[in-house]
Amino acid sequence: MRDQAELPTDAELIDRLRNRDEDAFALVLDAWSGGMARVARSIVSTHASADEVVQDAWLAVVQGIGRFEGRSSLKTWVYRILVNTAKRRAMREGRQVSWSPVAGEDDSPTVDPARFGGPGDRFPGHWLAFPAPWPSPEQDMLAGEVQAHVEVALAELPDRQRVVITLRDVEGYSADEVSSILQISAANQRVLLHRARALVRGKLEEYFVASAATDVGTEARP
């Protein structure tokens, strides 16, 4: 691991990059390339092409830094270039990545309606059975396995949802930053995030329910 040194302020970084200060470029290169690779992987099909996307994006940054107007943070601007580079690459690979809403994708329930009471039930619209509690993170001896299930769940998400949840929850960008990077509305960003989180939660629930069942079996043995 290269050291993740504390980065200077945006104003200082931009100034130094424009003056071709190689140390400043090395700082952002080392600080951001890993996260950029993760985001690129959420858009293009292979790790190898994601790595190329990261490099192409940095080349575009090198060429474009003189034109950067500072209307967003430097990192947001770099990530916007990254996302656009990745989208072009994905299209060349025959994947269609569109950020506009897809009919039917955005309005169906995110939790199986069968889990709630119907019109004939005593409490329509309320949980028939509450979601089972999960083991606390401290109790959870299999954190690596949980992470592996999250990775699988991410891979199974529709493209747009995967990109949004990767930026928001994996990389930790704010709602405003993600809207700005992807150039989508705040509402659209939230709809995609909501569906993605509900799907990943559902996968974790399946995993925890299945492993609780296994635990009971294990404990029952003498």
Partner 1 sequence: MTDLNCDQLVELVTDYLDGALDEETERRVADHLVGCDGCTTYVQQIRRTITTLGSAPPADVELSDEARDALLAAFREPPR
Burial class of residue 21, CB neighbours in 10 A (0-12, 13-18, 19+): middle
User: Residue 212's CB: how many other CB atoms inside 10 A?
Assistant: 14
Which is nearer to partner 1, 23 or 94 (by Cβ)?
A: 23
User: What 3-state class would DSSP assign to 169?
Assistant: helix
DSSP 122: S
- Closest approach, Cβ 170 to partner 1, in A, equals 5
Which is nearer to partner 1, 37 or 212 (by Cβ)?
A: 37
Q: Which residues bind partner 1 (CB under 8 A)?
A: 1-2, 20, 22, 25-26, 29-30, 33-35, 37-38, 41, 47, 51, 54-55, 58-59, 62-63, 109-111, 113, 116, 124-127, 130-131, 133-134, 137, 146-147, 150-151, 154, 165, 169-170, 172, 175, 186, 190, 193-194, 197-198, 200-201, 204-205
Rounded CA-CA distance 134/136 in Å is 6
Rounded CA-CA distance 154/125 in Å is 29
- Closest approach, Cβ 98 to partner 1, in A, equals 21
Which is nearer to partner 1, 138 or 221 (by Cβ)?
A: 138
Which is nearer to partner 1, 26 or 91 (by Cβ)?
A: 26
Contact by Cβ (8 Å): 53, 40: yes
